[in-house]
Structure 1
Amino acid sequence: MIRVSTFNDRTVAVFGLGASGLATVRALVDGGARVAAWDDSEQGREAAAQAGVPLVDLSTADWSEFAALVLAPGVPLTHPEPHWTVKAANAAGVDVIGDVELFFRERAAVCPAAPVIAITGTNGKSTTSALIAHVLRELGADVQLGGNIGRALLTLEPFSDKRVYVLELSSFQIDLAPSVRPTVAVLLNVSPDHIDRHGTVEHYADVKRRLVDAAETTAVIGIDDPWSADIARTLEARGGRVRRISVGERVGDGISASDGKLYENAPDEKEKPVADLDGIATLRGRHNWQNAAAAVAAVSALPKSVRGKGNIAAALRTFPGLAHRLEVVRRIGVVDFINDSKATNADSTEKALASFTGDIYWIAGGRPKSGGIKSLGYYFPRVTRAYLIGESMHEFGNTLIGKVDFERCGTLDVAVRRAAADAMAAGREGSVVLLSPACASFDQFRNFEVRGDAFKALVAELASEGAAS
């Protein structure tokens, strides 16, 4: 655990007692702080009390006693309106921060040379974070992976200038971290998302901008969307070290991807091949080419004494992938079953549909987001049949009328069985049953992981009823 000593002998309010909140409490207490912890949920408070967390009702507390409010990243900071704890903190002149801020304050105090790669973006940040950590481990580096992926940030091993910290950071986390300062910062892309939390896409993009603006040595920025391209230009104009990444466009200094191959680009020099992603199932599709390009650029930005020795291209080929992100569950007959439950918006599902040339038996639906699936029209010819579930079932059906053959299945279990039956009856090599919902899961499942696990369980049932290869 990372012990937070920067609030020694001071009192800190902590609101939100999920995994990261409980880790924050332990790290602060271990560092000598007094903690007043609270949660709106009675269940959360009871679990925290059982874990020995000191509870204080912050609605009746004297806020002048607090040195800071550490807020869970999912709690509204500004939109649609500040949470009541934020209002109380602001009225008392108390800083509102998150566990990422605690991480970077402690690093600055005890080990400022500890190498940190921080990754953000609307899409792809989890895969890219895991891929960077994997490559570094393959090269022999001592790696800690956490943040918005895997372990809560403050549960990582203590700081060392020989240990690389790979952090996936959401816009919510960055918004609560004014002192964020990674060695290498990665911004993959920006597209409209979380507008209910940030108010406008411009504000959302500005929050992402803060991470790369703060990079100590190098900012790795995807330039295939207008917001990120503008961020790269602005940062470079101010003298920042920028390495661009692009799929399909040669960049002046950075990594480009074309037809599944990655190239090193340098000003006034011929591009140099650095990796071939062909045949890597866990890195199929243009979106994963971008993820791999970012990983190569980020790892290469670290000195060899830190990142270790070895072949980055070879390390890419052993990447196992992440659950729920174009995860190959298994093959039954000639049909591959693909779990892409993490695709909770149309932009993510576009990446999935683009990864296959045809014979897609597509399971989609759930709690819809703004815009639905109208933006996916270019890929509709690749879909043999769609199987619609959840609250969006009728809306999505109206979009597909006359464009894609579909049926309204209602629930995931019905959709999986009907899609599997159709795909296996057709018997075409290379066909896929693809769960890529383009929707949130909350109408029928607690989260996208539970939805993806349900899909995998249903596929396992099918396999047990027949012959799985």
Structure 2
Amino acid sequence: MTPITSFAGKSVAVFGLGGSGLVTAQALVAGGAEVSAWDDKAEAVAKAAALGIPTVDLRGLDFSRVDALVLSPGVPLTHPKPHWTVELAKAAGVEIIGDIELFCRERRAIAPSAPFIAITGTNGKSTTTALIAHLFRVDGWDVQLGGNIGTAILSLDPPAKDRIHIVECSSFQIDLAPTIDPTVGILLNLTEDHLDRHDTMERYAAIKARLVRGAGTAVVGVDDDWCSTIASDLDKRGVAVERISVRRPVANGYFVDKGRIVEADDAVIREVANLDGIGSLRGAHNAQNAAAAIAAARALSISEAEIVEGLKSFPGLAHRMERVARIGRALFVNDSKATNADAAEKALASYDRIYWIAGGKPKTGGITSLASYFPRIAKAYLIGDAAEEFAATLAGKVETVMSGTMDVAVADAARDAATDGAAEPVVLLSPACASYDQYSNFEQRGDHFRSLVLALDGAKPFVEVK
């Protein structure tokens, strides 16, 4: 745990006592803060109280005596409507922050030179975060991995000059971190997402840009207009920028050329790594992830030899184009993390003969943007709330089956793929939707897919052949 000593003696209200909220309250108490914690769920309050965290209904709290409101990232700050705690804090002029901000302030207080890499983007941030952590572990570092990837940042060991924190940040977390200042900040890409929480794309992009604006070195993917504009703004601000691209050469930074990661230094180029044959980094999107990871590793002086070794040994992540099993020639791939069309595009672009399981709670725009990949889809198996909408989009272009639920879809797709004569037919779960209509989260959805696949007759768990 990282005790928040920088708030010792201060009055701090904490709202939201889920996993990260509980850790946040404990870290504040451990650091000497006067904590008043609450949640809308009675069971969460009871759990916190049992752990010795002071619990107080914040509706009755005198906010004029509060130094800060620490909000869990899942609680609305601005849209669709500010949470009632936000309104109370703003009325009293109390700052509203989150656990990432607490970490940043503690780092500046106790170990300002401690290395800290922060990663964000609409898609690819979890894989990039895990890959960077893997590269630093291969190089022998004391790695603390957390944030949006699943481990609360304040549950990690405290910042220290010989310890590196590698932290995935969502837009919700950055919105609550006004002074975030990583050693290396990474912004991978930006496409429309979470507008129910941020209202406009402009506001969403501005929040994401905050992470790289405060960085010592900013690594920015420049393959979309939003990020390209942000990179240019960083230049004007005097921030050191490393651009990355999978579409075209850059003058300074890293770009991808036929699977090779190429470094450009004032347009002088040389190959740094080759991703050919690394199955866990298949596809253009993973080439972008790898380029960003290499840029971060080089910024902190990891040798190219260690980087190459780390790339080759990276196992990949669950739910991100995770190869689950084979049955005969058919490969079964769990890409449950693809919760929007842009994320699903990455998997669809990586395979040629696809039996596609898609659907869930739909996102704005549906799957119309994926039309160029429809010829790769042998058949689509539609589940969840989006099934009818997706069927209408695919009508006349892709044969569809209204499977409804995951168990039916897996059985249907496995049966059809078994009779396909292609060299490697792929049964792909890449939903292009949120999971909340049938599952608690994308992890639960992916776990269900994996368990169903491994229970099929003849299923052989996938083993990477190096």
Same fold (TM over 0.5): yes
- DSSP-derived class of the 1:204 partner: helix
Structure 2 Cα separation of the partners of residues 62 and 56 of structure 1: 11
| Structure 1 residues 468 and 268: alpha-carbon distance in aligned structure 2, compared to 1, 3 A threshold | closer
Aligned length: 461
Residues 1:238 and 2:237 aligned together? yes
Residues 1:253 and 2:252 aligned together? yes
Give runs of aligned pairs for residues 84-233 of structure 1, distance below 5 A: 84-216=84-216, 218-233=217-232
Residues 1:314 and 2:314 aligned together? no
Structure 2 counterpart of 1:228, one-letter code: C
Structure 2 Cα separation of the partners of residues 137 and 174 of structure 1: 26
| Structure 1 residues 32 and 236: alpha-carbon distance in aligned structure 2, compared to 1, 3 A threshold | same
Report the equivalent of 1:325.
320
Report the equivalent of 1:264.
263
Corresponding residue to 2:399 among 394, 405, 412: 405
Report the equivalent of 1:378.
372
| Structure 1 residues 148 and 55: alpha-carbon distance in aligned structure 2, compared to 1, 3 A threshold | same
Quote the RMSD (CA, aligned, Å). 1.2
Corresponding residue to 1:340 among 309, 327, 335: 335
8 Å contact kept, 2:250–2:267: no
8 Å contact kept, 2:453–2:459: no
Corresponding residue to 1:433 among 380, 402, 427: 427
- DSSP-derived class of the 2:8 partner: coil
Normalised by the length of structure 2, the TM-score is 0.97
8 Å contact kept, 1:114–1:164: yes
Identity %: 58
- Runs of 5+ in structure 1 lacking a partner? none
Residues 1:40 and 2:40 aligned together? yes
| Structure 1 residues 144 and 378: alpha-carbon distance in aligned structure 2, compared to 1, 3 A threshold | same
Report the equivalent of 1:18.
18
8 Å contact kept, 1:136–1:308: no
Report the equivalent of 2:28.
28
Report the equivalent of 2:271.
273
Deviation track 1:107-143 (CA, whole Å, cap 9, x = no partner) reads 1111000000110100000000000000111111111
Deviation track 1:303-325 (CA, whole Å, cap 9, x = no partner) reads x3xx5784211210111111100
- Runs of 5+ in structure 2 lacking a partner? 462-466
Structure 2 counterpart of 1:151, one-letter code: T
Deviation track 1:412-443 (CA, whole Å, cap 9, x = no partner) reads 10000010010011243211100000011111
Structure 1 counterpart of 2:259, one-letter code: G
Deviation track 1:350-370 (CA, whole Å, cap 9, x = no partner) reads 1110011x2100000111111
- DSSP-derived class of the 2:426 partner: strand
| Structure 1 residues 394 and 276: alpha-carbon distance in aligned structure 2, compared to 1, 3 A threshold | same
Shift of the alpha carbon at 1:62? Answer: 1.0
Structure 1: which 4+ aligned runs deviate by more than 6 Å? none
Shift of the alpha carbon at 1:49? Answer: 2.2
Structure 2 Cα separation of the partners of residues 458 and 89 of structure 1: 47
Report the equivalent of 1:299.
297
Report the equivalent of 2:64.
64
Report the equivalent of 2:464.
none
Structure 1 Cα separation of the partners of residues 267 and 420 of structure 2: 52
Structure 2 counterpart of 1:300, one-letter code: R
Shift of the alpha carbon at 1:69? Answer: 0.3
Shift of the alpha carbon at 1:10? Answer: 1.6
Report the equivalent of 2:460.
468
Shift of the alpha carbon at 1:381? Answer: 0.3
Structure 2 counterpart of 1:428, one-letter code: A
Structure 1 counterpart of 2:42, one-letter code: E
- DSSP-derived class of the 2:238 partner: coil
